[in-house]
């Protein structure tokens, strides 16, 4: 059975990218480069004092938006060197979307300031009221399934922008409510993410002071996300974790349209080259990126075209088409993708809480299937053999993408529906450890 048939049948599936080439060659062919990534990091540093002004809780980190790298020892006890990059608890917005979303707002802020002959140092000591007055006549619009809208809404309102978030039917009610509570206009759609994003795009006009932040094709979002790579690199050094040909780094990132995982992968490949192996995790009903890459059609094919529904508990991943920008970049850079059933995401979500006391959203749990796929499945083992990798020397990093802002009742609802059984190897092609909750 080929890849398309696997996707059509909503089967959990590990796909190894046959078009991947050496990182140096792939990176040389991209329109973005290492310098662009470093410039993005510098912009984030420039805005750090303002972030502390808006959000005093960022004082301890001097305005840096980053999360902990934590070792996971109990959840999958037979897997050595498993870590999570805890973007589920990123300050202020509680999701992976914070770096990119905040960064995209920062780009617009500097553009407007330059029109007034101002720069960041000239407004740092102004009152919040005075800062807001500079942007109150301007608007931000974005299409979102939830977490990007939260990030844009929180940072946009902090600066005083009028913010409108066009949200798809998949977006959680609590995310819409939180946005409305901070003064964001939420426009709801019965259709999917792509329709919400298009409506946001159609409503924007920079000539009228309305700026559209394009989740599907924004270079600014992409570069904001890429800054996480240097942050992870620094944390690995602090923990004396080597990344080299004998000690490779494997990173597993949940993927919607692809902006966040694409930006992170771009950053990691710039730093570690072929010594980092990046894999995207997607729901079996919404494998937009994998479908785009497998077919070579990128954003020109939808999961609906092959009969899939996008019906998934992973609301942040419920998209039908991949970002054209990201799919093109990942076509020769990404190591692979894998799909995960809802029941598996819910099970991992519950197990992480049971064993480590960490609460995440279902979509954030998708990445945990990655280490199991690579180490225990036939296809994964073959990949390791072909790349001459000793599984005992791999450092695994699962990127947890959202959860800390999720209401307790929402978490408990998902926890309640986590499968009360042991998944068999036939269901995922691997062996999942059963914990004491069952």
Q: Are 290 and 17 in contact (CB under 8 A)?
A: no
Q: What is the pLDDT of residue 420?
A: 56
- Tell me which DSSP letter residue 145 carries: S
Domain 3-94+226-428 = CATH 3.40.50.1100 = yes
- The pair of structure tokens assigned to 223 is 């570069």
Q: HSE (CB half, 13 Å, CA atoms) of 222?
A: 23
Report yes or no: 119 and 113 within 8 Å, Cβ to Cβ.
yes
pLDDT of residue 197: 77
In this prediction, residue 426 carries a pLDDT of 43
pLDDT at 203: 80
Q: What is the distance between the alpha carbons of residues 335 and 314, in angstroms, rounded to a whole number?
A: 23
Predicted confidence at residue 20, as pLDDT, reads 98
Return the SS3 of 418. coil
| C-alpha span between 337 and 434 (Å, rounded) | 24
Tokens standing for residue 184:
């964001």
**Would you state the pLDDT for residue 431?**
37
pLDDT confidence of residue 425: 37
Residue with tokens 């924004």: 218
Contact 160, 133 (CB under 8 A): yes
Question: What does the chain come to in residues?
Answer: 438
Given this model, what pLDDT does residue 193 score? 66
| CB 147 within 8 Å of CB 102 | no
In the chain (438 residues long), the average pLDDT of successive 10-residue segments reads: 92 97 98 97 96 93 94 88 95 90 97 94 94 95 85 96 86 87 90 74 79 90 97 98 98 96 98 98 98 97 95 90 96 98 94 93 95 95 97 97 85 81 40 33
For the chain, what are the domain ranges?
A: 3-94+226-428, 97-213
Same topology for domains 3-94+226-428 and 97-213, yes or no? yes
Looking from the CA of 413 toward its CB, the CA atoms found within 13 Å total 8
Q: Quick one: pLDDT at residue 167?
A: 83
Residue 62 half-sphere exposure toward CB, CA atoms < 13 A: 3
Confidence at residue 424, expressed as pLDDT on a 0 to 100 scale: 40
Q: What is the CATH number of domain 97-213?
A: 3.40.50.1100
Return the ∠ at Cα 352 (arms to 351 and 358), rounded to 5°.
Answer: 140
Please report the beta strands in 129-283, taking only residues with DSSP state E, as ranges in sequence order: 139-144, 162-167, 185-188, 210-213, 249-254, 276-283
- pLDDT for 352 equals 94
Q: Label residues 395-416 b or e (16+ Cβ within 10 Å = b).
A: bbbbbbbbbbbbeeebbeebbe
């Amino acid at each position: 059975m080929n890849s398309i048939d696997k996707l059509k049948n909503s089967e959990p599936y590990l796909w190894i990218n046959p078009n991947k080439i050496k990182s140096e060659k792939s990176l040389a062919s991209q329109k973005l480069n290492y310098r662009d990534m470093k410039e993005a990091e510098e912009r984030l540093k420039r805005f750090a004092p303002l972030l502390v002004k808006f959000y005093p809780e960022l004082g301890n980190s001097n305005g840096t938006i980053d999360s902990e790298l934590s070792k996971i020892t109990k959840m999958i006890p037979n897997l050595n060197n498993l870590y999570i990059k805890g973007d589920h608890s990123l300050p202020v917005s509680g999701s992976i979307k914070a770096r990119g979303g905040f960064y995209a707002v920062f780009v617009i802020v500097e553009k407007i300031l330059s029109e007034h002959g101002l720069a960041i140092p000239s407004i740092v000591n102004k009152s919040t009221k005075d800062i807001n007055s500079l942007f109150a006549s301007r608007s931000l619009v974005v299409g979102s399934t939830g977490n990007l809208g939260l990030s844009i809404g929180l940072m946009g309102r902090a600066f005083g922008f009028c913010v409108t978030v066009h949200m798809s039917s998949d977006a959680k009610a609590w995310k819409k409510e939180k946005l409305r509570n901070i003064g964001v206009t939420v426009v709801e759609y019965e259709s999917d993410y792509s329709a919400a994003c298009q409506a946001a795009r159609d409503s924007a006009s920079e000539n009228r002071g309305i700026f559209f932040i394009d989740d599907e094709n924004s270079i600014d979002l992409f570069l904001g996300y890429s800054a996480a790579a240097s942050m992870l690199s620094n944390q690995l050094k602090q923990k004396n974790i080597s990344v080299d040909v004998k000690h490779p780094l494997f990173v597993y990132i949940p993927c919607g349209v692809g902006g966040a995982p694409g930006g992170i992968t771009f950053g990691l490949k710039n730093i570690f080259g072929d010594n980092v192996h990046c894999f995207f995790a997607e729901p079996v009903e919404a494998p937009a990126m994998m479908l785009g890459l497998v077919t070579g059609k990128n954003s020109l094919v939808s999961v609906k075209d092959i009969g899939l529904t996008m019906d998934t508990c992973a609301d942040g991943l419920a998209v039908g088409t991949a970002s054209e920008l990201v799919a093109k970049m990942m076509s020769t850079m990404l190591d692979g993708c894998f799909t995960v059933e809802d029941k598996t995401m819910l099970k991992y979500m519950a197990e992480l809480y049971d064993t480590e006391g960490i609460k995440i959203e279902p979509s954030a749990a998708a990445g945990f299937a990655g280490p199991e796929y690579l180490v225990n499945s036939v296809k994964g083992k073959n990949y390791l053999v072909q790349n001459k990798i000793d599984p005992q020397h791999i450092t695994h990093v699962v990127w947890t993408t959202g959860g800390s802002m999720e209401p307790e009742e929402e978490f408990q609802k998902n926890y309640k529906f986590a499968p009360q059984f042991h998944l068999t190897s036939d269901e995922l092609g691997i062996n999942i450890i059963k914990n004491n909750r069952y």
